Structure 1
Amino acid sequence: MNIEWRKLELPNFGIPEEMPEIPSSIYEERCNKLYAKSECDWVVVYGDREHFANLFYLTEFDPRFEEAVLVLGKDNQRYLLVGNEGMMYKSVVKPQLETILCQSFSLMGQDRSISPRLDEILKNIGLSSGNKVGVVGWKYLEDEEKQDFKGLFVPAYLVDCVESLVKDSEAIVDVSSILMHPTKGLRAYNEVEQIAVFEWAATRASAALHRIVKGTQPGVSELEAVSKMGYAGEPLTTYVMYASGKNEIVGLRSPSAKKVEKGDGLFTALGYRGGLSARGGLVDSVNDEYLEKWAIPYYRGIAAWYESVSVGVSGGDIYNHISEELAVGGLRPALNPGHLTSSDEWLHTSFRPGSNEKVSSGMAIQCDIIPAPMEDGIVLNCEDSVFLADQHLRDAIAKKYPDMWERIKARQKFMRGELGLQISDDILPFSSTPGYYTPLILSNDYALTVK
């Protein structure tokens, strides 16, 4: 594989302004599917500000300051338990349900005099001795991690309240995988309407990140560079990350008042709900050693990713192909070189050694190769969002969202014709910078391409 660094202007693929709507009927169907698959009397779904995604997927309610719990029962019984401020926010809820005030979820010091306790509310809803209760937390343990206790990723307070009513700890089971499994989970597969929402987010996040990269110059502070993003209030999936320097680059940190210097390594990333973009490079305009030793070997892995991912390919095979290409340059994936994304940045992943789990139509995926080992002051990254769609799903997208489809086709054409990445028709690029990697930050119109 021959990689060339050449002048290549990034086209303007267009940026959507209005976020698409997901109809209430989809949320109703999601709740019904979860309850049916659980084979439980009740399903209890936990959420808070950090761990909101499962609850959001089912209701479009994302707790802003407090905890919240969704309770699903037979005959379409649905109850959303929220704190004081959650009651003020309940109008965002999409499915038909009853919202119940649970003041124990309110911030400390706020009024608790109106609502019953959580266990009393659950009892009034109908939880009782002999019931089987499925619990959805923010993640779940794999089989090899499990021990002789529940290991539920929800507050112990919630588990204790449920157990006090059902009278049997064995009647409480973890059903989080029904939503979050990488190939069997409901959230792994997205409806056409959800796809449109994710494309909206990924397009805007990647465009904002590109503005940060272009705004990076020696002498500006990290905070000033990040201010170029033009943030418009889109909900974030991550902290905004920006780190520069000539020592170890701590990529996860937030920007500081440090002045960017020529010769610094640079990492920056941000994500909106449905898509994250990241870039890592060197603050320089010309540096043949960096290109030959680091950037070009890394981009071989990026090219291998885009050219190996398609519907029906196993995560293990993709992992092996990427690892082989990186190894040519003495690199390896530090973590999984890709994962499912959603309204939370990382849902799950099949991109791991030996995995037979196949990527499928309907999945939103991050191209996410963090290389290792890295020397001080060296950082490499070219992360973006894609969607996998078979012909049937592509036709549905083109029919319902023709403007989005035109953006997707333009990105595919650019990746194939200008970047030399021979991607499958299954790959729908969502990023405004699809596969576009300018590793020398001060030459931000020179990109790596495959000859």
Structure 2
Amino acid sequence: MDPKDIEVVYGTVAPPETSVGLVPVDLTADTWNERLHKICSRMKEEGLDALAVYGDREHGGNFAYLTGFEPRFEEAVLVLKQDGQAVLMLGNENRKMRAHSAIRADLVHVPYFSLPNQPMGNDKDMAGLFADAGIEAGMAVGLAGWKMFTSQLEDNSQLFDVPCFIVDGIKTAAGHGTLKAASHLFIHPGHGARTTVNANEAAHYEFGSALASDCVYQAMDRLAPGMTEMEVAGYMCSLGQPVSVTTICATGERFQGAVVFPRNKKIRVGDKFSLTMGLRGGLSSRAAYVAAGEEDMEDGVKDYVDVMAKPYYRAAACWYGNIKIGMTGGEMYERIDSVLPRDEFAWSLNPGHLTADEEWMSSPIYSGSDIQFRSGMMLQMDIIPGKAGYGGAGAEDGIVLADEALREKIQADYPETWKRFERRRRYMERELGIALGPEALPMSDIAGYMRPYLLNRGCAFKIAGRQDTMI
């Protein structure tokens, strides 16, 4: 069956069951050792004598992958050798974190990483400090920031996304050696160490993803005309967990007065509305209207469901129902383009991407991609359509792909996590008509659940018949 012929129905749908008593799952010593081995083996493959891994509060994913922490309000660098020897270069207020690092590491104090006007006490420049950390003249050094540059330039290995004073310090310390960009060791969608997870990591990240989805669902279910954005956002309680994106709770026009956070702005019937929360492991997002039905919509958007929301949901259901191990990112990209044409719905970003500690790590889903989906990949369904005059339509959530061996390991070691995966799969298939492949495990309690009219809490979209006929 042509996916475009799949019938999206708006009608009575039982609400999803949210998780109760979520408990964080810590990463084990075996997982930390596995992570270190994965990076060291990739260093050997690329002939790197040393790897410098940068981190700061906003860009700490690769650094924390090995250390277990981000450097909060300072910068930091982890210098790693092929044999696993490590040195943490930390500022004034992060020095104590060396004792809590997930991998054993020596310490080099770098006052330059400290906050403005704190005591510096510098007796060495950055080159000298990198020499203390083990960078020697003649070494082949990789520098990992947080992104890869995938432009068509002939040599992207010399594009660095870290502060210049760090790059210059390493170059001077390495002397006649070489320095090249190395974030791909961590996040390249085809071979990066971080792009697949084991059972322990899947359970660890499922906690954050489930909590984020339940926060969004609670806010969506409690919003009402007359409430303010801040009042609704108050239901998005993250239990102190660090957010991976700016929390969105916005009614009507967003970004007025350059404000991006929830405001004391009252919600009105007929407003377009956006809700987003991202925690480590996953993001949930919804875009719809504050309405009970078409009668609450302004004249110019009364056809919103047929023109925007249903086509979007068809594409989302197609994404969930077709993703499988061995499929290429290019195949997924073309499938979504055929169901929800870019030229008509104005989406431009990748229709899905990898996620982890950060909301967007990298993506195997782009035009022409030959990168295959693999067991252990955590992927977010992320399609952003647009039509002039209409509010957005969105229902973003994530899954983890798991082959039979990984599924058995999760079930054996983390039975409560496994029960939630099974519950979500049953809900999507039986209530929403979206049949998942056996390897697709929903990380969110509200995956596939979309209400175009937020005030009608008993109705949502579903697929008529069995959606697996799309595969």
Q: Is the 8 A contact 2:329 2:372 kept in 1?
A: yes
Give, in whole Å, the separation in 2 of the partners of 1:94 and 1:399: 25
Residue 264 in 1 paired to residue 271 in 2?
A: yes
Match of 2:34 in 1: 29
Label 1:247 to 1:106 Cα distance change in 2 as closer, same or farther (>3 A).
closer
1:175 is matched with: 182
| Structure 1 residues 42 and 252, CA gap change in structure 2 (3 angstroms) | farther
C-alpha separation between the residues in 1 aligned to 2:82 and 2:334? 45
Greater shift in the superposed pair: 237-246 or 50-59: 237-246
Give the letter for the 1:340 counterpart: L
**Rounded Cα–Cα distance in structure 2 between residues aligned with 1:36 and 1:329:** 43
In 2, Cα distance between the equivalents of 1:2 and 1:348?
A: 32
Residues 204 and 149 of structure 1: CA distance in aligned 2, closer, same or farther (over 3 Å): closer
Q: Which amino acid aligns with 2:143?
A: V
Q: TM-score, normalised by structure 2?
A: 0.90
User: Quick one: which amino acid aligns to residue 45 of structure 1?
Assistant: V
One-letter amino acid of the structure 2 residue matched with residue 244 of structure 1: T
Question: Aligned-pair distance for 1:146?
Answer: 4.8
Question: What does residue 66 of structure 2 align with?
Answer: 58
Once residues 318 and 85 of structure 1 are traced to their aligned partners in structure 2, the CA distance between those partners, rounded to angstroms, is 45
Determine whether 1:275 maps to 2:282.
yes
Where structure 1 has 5 or more consecutive residues not aligned to the other structure, the ranges are: none
> How many angstroms apart in 2 are the aligned matches of 1:246 and 1:67?
36
Q: What are the Cα deviations for residues 191-218 of structure 1, in whole angstroms up to 9, with x where unaligned?
A: 2111111100000000001111122211
The alignment-based identity, stated in percent, is: 31
Deviation at 1:115, TM superposition (A): 7.0
User: Which residue identity does 1:134 align to in structure 2?
Assistant: G
| CA deviation string 1:141-189 (max 9, x = no partner) | 2261355882111111111111112223x61122211111002110101
Count the aligned residue pairs: 449
Structure 2 CA distance for aligned equivalents of residues 75 and 391 of structure 1: 33
* Counterpart residue number, 1:438: 451
Look up the match of 1:108. 116
If the length of structure 1 is used for normalisation, what is the TM-score?
0.94
Name the CA distance, whole Å, in 1 between partners of 2:344 and 2:220. Answer: 27
1:312-341, Cα deviation, whole Å (9 max, x unpaired): 111111111112112499435331110000
Shift of 1:246: 5.9
- Contact preservation (8 Å) 1:180, 1:187: yes
Report whether the alignment pairs 1:230 with 2:237.
Answer: yes
Distance in 1 of aligned mates of 2:244 and 2:342:
34
Question: What amino acid maps onto 1:6 in structure 2?
Answer: G
Alignment of 1:419 onto 2:443: no
Shifted more, 114-123 versus 184-193: the winner is 114-123
Q: More displaced, 44-53 or 28-37?
A: 28-37
Structure 1 residues 150 and 341: alpha-carbon distance in aligned structure 2, compared to 1, 3 A threshold: same
SS of equivalent residue, structure 2 residue 87: strand
Distance change >3 Å, CA 70–CA 196, structure 1 → 2:
same
**Quick one: distance in 1 between partners of 2:114 and 2:195?**
32
Partners of 1:269 and 1:149 in 2: CA distance: 35
**C-alpha distance in 1 between matches for 2:189 and 2:310:** 31
Task: Give the counterpart letter for 1:317 in structure 2.
Answer: E
Deviates more, 1:124-133 or 1:38-47: 124-133
Residue 404 in structure 1 maps to residue 417 in structure 2: yes
Alignment partner of 2:355 out of 331, 341, 356:
341
The correspondence for 2:222, drawn from 215, 220, 223, is: 215
Distance 1:91 1:350, change over 3 A: same
Q: Please, what is the CA RMSD of the aligned residues?
A: 2.2
**Compared with structure 1, are the counterparts of its residues 249 and 333 closer, same or farther at alpha carbon in structure 2 (3 Å cutoff)?**
farther
